[in-house]
Structure 1
Amino acid sequence: MTDIAFAWSSLGGDPALVPRVSTVVREGALQGRLPVRELARACVGACALAAAELGARRAGLAEVPRVRVDDGAVATAFVSERHLLVDGRAPVAFAPLSRFWRTADGWVRTHANYPHHRARLLSALGLTEDLADSVGQALAERTSLEAEEAVYAAGGLAVALRTPEEWAAHEQGVAVAGRPLVERQRLDSAHARVLTPVEGAPLLPAAGLRVLDLTRVVAGPVATRTLALLGADVLRVDAPQLPELPDQHADTGFGKRSATLDLVADRSTFEELLAAADVVVTGYRPGALDRFGLSPQALAERRPGMVVAQLSAWGAYGPWGGRRGFDSLVQVATGIAATEGSPRRPGALPAQALDHGTGYLLAAAVLRALTEQSHEGGSRFVGPALARTARWLTDGIEAGGRERENASYDDPGSWLAERDSASGRLRYALPPVSFEGGPADWARPSAPWGTDAPRWARVSRAAR
């Protein structure tokens, strides 16, 4: 099965719609030892087709609009953080302590971009200062697995380098391999969602839908950024004591509003947001938000007909089901880093493809759930995982697509744009999700983190 067809089938899509997708193949885009370009193309293609399908249903079109996936747009978007400029300044992607380190028997990779993760890493190593030499010496005295367990026990993030064979034999690797690319579940028998018609140009499949965005970092914000592109009212809510990295937020905040809210102290405000939401997207480790009544089943019971999307690093199952994780760490655990480099000198994918790819799969799953609800009803749960996307990549992806055009990828300039924002002049990657009559850019640039009020925009509702 070709790449886009497999992704589409994993979302429950009608295989008869796959021929609506055509591709522009560009040599030189997202080059790596693994088929990263094919994975990226498939994830974006499936997302665009899901958007076109929902748009056709809401606009009363006789057929689903055609989708065109251009490797140039996809490759540029998959490294959007590298193309971002804020008043001409390029952001810093990784903090000094987020890197590979030698251990007594191999390698370990840490993630310490956020201050609380950096503090936990240092605590696990018995250090008080974040000096690279001290961290390196402390890790060199431990085996990779000892370092991994010690840092995770302290609430930090460190993962030992594994080969594909070692991950395949690992209990979490076995659990991930037995799961679908995207978890999908109907939670109840709620009435079918009646979506109000959309008209005019551009065609906005998610117009009027309210999406409560409880995600951080890259994959979740990429998904909600895509839903905002398609017309959804997306409100990102963060805890005030956990600020997002400003440049990271500028890259993934397009089309959305950003508010801060203490879910304990401001519970009544949060409940008001939940009561009017159509979609809730969470990106914290599985179970972390359950105490706030945010488990999929609890949300469905409180608001029948809701779509609940839950992103995780390792999957919400298996011995690592409750662990935190990021793209770079999943690459290390699943054998990708050893494949792109070697067990003696690990490498990395040409993009944070697990983050971006899973983000587009998550958006696609939400769109498909909305389409299914409109004629079948039921609250819906969808749940991709970075580790499951990694499994798809390491299994190998067969290239495919209708009306393949061939070109080169020499200059990303065609897929970059500039606009003013409250954060300054932004240069950014344009969205790669494209279908006939659909939007070409976001309606609004990123707002600075936490500067919006925690309330929904006053727009006409999409469902009744």
Structure 2
Amino acid sequence: MNDTFADVTSRVWHAIGADDADWPATQLTTTGPRAVLPAAFDVTGLATGAVAAATVTAAQFLAALRQSGQPAVTVDSRESCAAFASERLFTPIGWTRPPLWDPIAGNYRASDAWIRLHTNYASHRAAVERVLGAHDREAVQAAVAGLHAEELETAIVEAGGCAAVMHNRGQWLASPAGAATADALPLTVVERRSPGARTPNAIGQLPFDGVRVLDLTRVIAGPVCTKFLAGYGADVLRIDPPGFDEVPSLLPETTLGKRTAALDLTASSDRAMFEELLAGADVIVSGLRGDALKRLGYDDDALIAVNPDLIIASLDAYGWDGPWRNRRGFDSLVQMSCGIADDGATATGQAEPTPLPVQALDHATGWLLAAAVARALTRRLTHSVAARIQGSLIGTANLLYSLTPPNGHLSAAAPKDFTLVETTTDWGPARHVPLPGRIDGVAAHWSQQAGPLGRHPAMWATHK
């Protein structure tokens, strides 16, 4: 392994709940520059370590299935960082993708502090418009300028929207939400006895061939997890409410490799279909707010009652403890809340919030969740245990803070510095970032091209 990545990959490995006995240092090779993305934090190390953890655990699951030694894994830092910028690097050929950000989303200066408004969902934009009585960027800025940032944040959140005041690290840790999550880990894993070790009918060429994943994720973090699993063979079925309006610019990336179906979990007929899917699933991955499934009648006990062998994986923004455990949140908001945007500004001498160059909390959490799922599949096979996995963006932020920052601020990597490959989507051809990380003798690929939500029947493609 490249010694310059040895410490960070080991730290990330422990972050998924694995121990030294499972760490195959001799079977992992890391290549590429130690610093790729410009940041006041070790984003390059986080990206490389997270990709390594997921790829290694996929290789370990394949070895457990084959009852053989683990195949070698290679991870390149430049390819890993490209994956962390995948939604920005995606390039349509002959068609136009909608903008990544809503026109009024962004950072604003209130009377006493900076605040970020997240308005990519129509309902979240409507909440901001109701609170401020403003409908375009200039009017929003004028309205925000006369208000106290904390009061505005509270008003928007209570109206059903999303906002975050910029805090320095000390302010965040002194707040009730920050103190409650000061020691939050990127992931926690709790195991229970599994009645039977489920395995695919036949061992395929890819690690997750025959593994069924029920995908209830949104935006970036959760879809990154399930896209990785799909790339290595999993049958991933994404479920959304009928007519759900996901951020359209993200779909060409986040639906890759997956089938997408629509179910109304408040309707009895669709609940019956969902429970049939659940009974046949190996894994469920949820990116909904912490209390969302419980409000629908599907808390952990209910899920396990339907499928005792189920691996349950969830992620949220602000952690699973404290007053913000059920708060709406996104990567850019967590960076504002927890000190990252302030520390970025300090490091670069900027007078405004300076976030990470990519949505690194989202991407890293997705890769780490995928690693934990792969490890859970191995443990279910070898030890007859099923896992309950919880991840959070705030826990990943804590991990990033624990990594030694780079020396100096690098110049920004340009899109030409990353390798893109051609693909097809339901909207047209495009160039996108390939899956980073390689398992010796395994050719990862996505069997489903990206496309709109709700375009497939709510049924499994694979047979058990």
Q: Which residues of 2 match residues 274-285 of structure 1 at below 5 A?
A: 274-285=278-289
The 3-state SS of whatever aligns with 2:449 is coil
1:423 aligned onto 2:430: no
The 3-state SS of whatever aligns with 2:181 is helix
2:137 partner amino acid = A
Candidates 75, 80, 89, aligned match of 1:74? 80
1:9 partner amino acid = H
1:213 aligned onto 2:215: yes
Between stretches 142-151 and 417-426, larger displacement belongs to 417-426
Q: 1:247 — aligned with what?
A: 249
- Counterpart CA distance in 1 for 2:413 and 2:178 is 35
- Counterpart CA distance in 2 for 1:419 and 1:413 is 19
- Counterpart CA distance in 1 for 2:413 and 2:62 is 30
Candidates 86, 92, 101, aligned match of 2:92? 86
Candidates 225, 229, 239, aligned match of 1:227? 229
- The offset of 1:26, in angstroms, is 1.8
- Counterpart CA distance in 2 for 1:421 and 1:344 is 41
- The offset of 1:296, in angstroms, is 2.3
Q: 1:59 — aligned with what?
A: 66
Candidates 134, 152, 160, aligned match of 1:155? 160
- The offset of 1:106, in angstroms, is 1.2
1:345 aligned onto 2:352: yes
Q: Which residues of 2 match residues 23-422 of structure 1 at below 5 A?
A: 23-26=30-33, 29-61=36-68, 63-88=69-94, 89=96, 91-125=98-132, 127=133, 129-186=134-191, 188-196=192-200, 199=203, 203-265=205-267, 266-342=270-346, 344-397=351-404, 412=416, 415-422=419-426
CA contact (8 A) 1:72 1:409 kept: no
Quickly say closer, same or farther: Cα 1:75–1:198, change in 2 above 3 A.
farther
Q: 1:8 — aligned with what?
A: 13
Quickly say closer, same or farther: Cα 1:243–1:155, change in 2 above 3 A.
same
1:434 aligned onto 2:434: no
Superposed CA offset, 1:406-444 (max 9, x none): xx9776576311122322112111011322122343223
- Counterpart CA distance in 2 for 1:338 and 1:240 is 39
- Counterpart CA distance in 1 for 2:19 and 2:401 is 26
- Counterpart CA distance in 2 for 1:260 and 1:111 is 25
1:107 partner amino acid = W
CA contact (8 A) 2:185 2:398 kept: no
2:124 partner amino acid = H
- Counterpart CA distance in 2 for 1:7 and 1:293 is 34
- Counterpart CA distance in 2 for 1:357 and 1:393 is 10
- The offset of 1:349, in angstroms, is 0.5
- Counterpart CA distance in 1 for 2:405 and 2:30 is 14
1:64 partner amino acid = Q
CA contact (8 A) 1:84 1:91 kept: no
Quickly say closer, same or farther: Cα 1:104–1:2, change in 2 above 3 A.
same
Quickly say closer, same or farther: Cα 1:28–1:39, change in 2 above 3 A.
closer
TM-score (norm 2): 0.91
- Counterpart CA distance in 1 for 2:19 and 2:440 is 19
Quickly say closer, same or farther: Cα 1:344–1:297, change in 2 above 3 A.
farther
- The offset of 1:353, in angstroms, is 0.4
CA contact (8 A) 2:177 2:322 kept: yes
The 3-state SS of whatever aligns with 1:81 is helix
TM-score (norm 1): 0.91
CA contact (8 A) 1:72 1:415 kept: no
Superposed CA offset, 1:357-379 (max 9, x none): 10000111111111111122233
- Counterpart CA distance in 2 for 1:364 and 1:436 is 18
The 3-state SS of whatever aligns with 1:415 is coil
CA contact (8 A) 2:365 2:391 kept: yes
Structure 1 vs Structure 2 CA RMSD: 2.1
- Give the unaligned 5+ runs of structure 1: 400-407
CA contact (8 A) 1:106 1:344 kept: no
- Counterpart CA distance in 1 for 2:366 and 2:355 is 19
- The offset of 1:334, in angstroms, is 0.7
- Counterpart CA distance in 2 for 1:390 and 1:121 is 26
The 3-state SS of whatever aligns with 1:46 is helix
1:204 partner amino acid = L
Superposed CA offset, 1:264-298 (max 9, x none): 12222222211211111110110112133332232
- Counterpart CA distance in 2 for 1:223 and 1:103 is 36
Between stretches 442-451 and 74-83, larger displacement belongs to 442-451
CA contact (8 A) 1:58 1:197 kept: no
- The offset of 1:138, in angstroms, is 1.9
Q: 1:404 — aligned with what?
A: none
Identical-residue share of aligned pairs (%): 37
Between stretches 230-239 and 79-88, larger displacement belongs to 79-88
CA contact (8 A) 1:2 1:397 kept: no
Quickly say closer, same or farther: Cα 1:197–1:453, change in 2 above 3 A.
closer
CA contact (8 A) 1:313 1:386 kept: yes
CA contact (8 A) 1:84 1:90 kept: no
The 3-state SS of whatever aligns with 2:319 is coil
